[in-house]
């Protein structure tokens, strides 16, 4: 069980000579005797195909939704938005539990200035409470830039939710300066004291239990 899977973003070779680190990690775990693998919100679920055994990815959305409902209560316009198309699955899962629409930010070039801007592909965020959702916050740059753009487009309030809060350097300060009013993470890595934390312990425990039962059943049949 790895609540946070290290090297998950190194899921392909970006430069010549680089390893595909997450694949090497899974091969090493299997070689060490691991028969199954459970993690929480891995960067790309397709990476789990490299583990040569049962592998389960735990969705933290139920835990996030429980924390977010009181914050969003009474708001008429709520959107859950991913910072890019790759994270739209996370936005969809959380939005379904909150009963809210979801979208993702697309990069659009301003035809006058030539500047690249981020904006929701489908929805109008004017007057809305927006929940930005992603798997990892490291430097905070992506969340901060997205929040600034959303405010420029009329968002009333921006909340950030990310499963794994790494918060490198001045990430928290950067996000708060961008106007993010609430920061929520899961308890997969130790979080700063002034960050809200949603527990995924029960979700992870249920996943581990189901995998152990499946492995035990397979071995008894064999």
The catalytically annotated residue of 107, 121, 177, 209 is 107
Would you say 195 and 159 are in contact if contact means Cβ atoms under 8 Å apart?
Answer: no
* DSSP states along 62-93: HHHHHHHHHHHTT-S-EEEEESSGGGHHHHHH
Separation CA 139–CA 11 (nearest Å): 19
168 to 75, 136, 140, 190, 191: CA distances (angstroms): 32, 11, 8, 13, 11
107 is catalytic: yes
Separation CA 100–CA 52 (nearest Å): 37
Cβ neighbours of residue 5 under 8 Å, at least 6 residues apart? 22, 25, 39, 42, 43
Separation CA 148–CA 109 (nearest Å): 17
Separation CA 167–CA 139 (nearest Å): 6
What stretches of 73-200 show up as alpha helix (H) in DSSP? 88-98, 141-152, 171-177
The residues annotated with a catalytic role in the active site are 107
């Amino acid at each position: 069980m790895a609540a946070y899977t290290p090297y998950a973003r190194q899921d392909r070779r970006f430069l010549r000579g680089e390893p595909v680190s997450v694949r090497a990690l899974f091969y090493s775990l299997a070689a060490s005797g691991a028969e199954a693998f459970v993690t929480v919100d891995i960067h790309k679920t397709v990476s789990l195909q490299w583990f040569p055994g049962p592998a389960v990815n735990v969705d933290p959305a139920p835990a996030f939704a429980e924390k977010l409902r009181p914050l969003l209560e009474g708001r008429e316009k709520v959107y859950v938005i991913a910072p890019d198309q790759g994270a739209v699955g996370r936005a969809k899962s959380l939005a379904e539990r909150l009963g809210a629409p979801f979208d993702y930010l697309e990069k659009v070039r301003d035809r006058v200035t030539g500047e690249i801007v981020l904006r929701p592909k489908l929805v109008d965020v004017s007057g809305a409470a927006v929940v930005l959702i992603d798997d990892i916050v490291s430097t905070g740059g992506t969340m901060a830039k997205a929040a600034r753009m959303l405010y420029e487009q009329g968002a009333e309030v921006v909340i950030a939710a990310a499963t794994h809060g790494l918060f490198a350097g001045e990430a928290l300060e950067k996000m708060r300066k961008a106007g993010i009013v609430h920061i929520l993470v899961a308890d997969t890595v130790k979080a700063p004291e002034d960050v809200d934390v949603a527990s995924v312990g029960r979700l992870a425990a249920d996943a581990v239990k189901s995998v152990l039962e499946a492995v035990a059943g397979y071995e008894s049949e064999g």
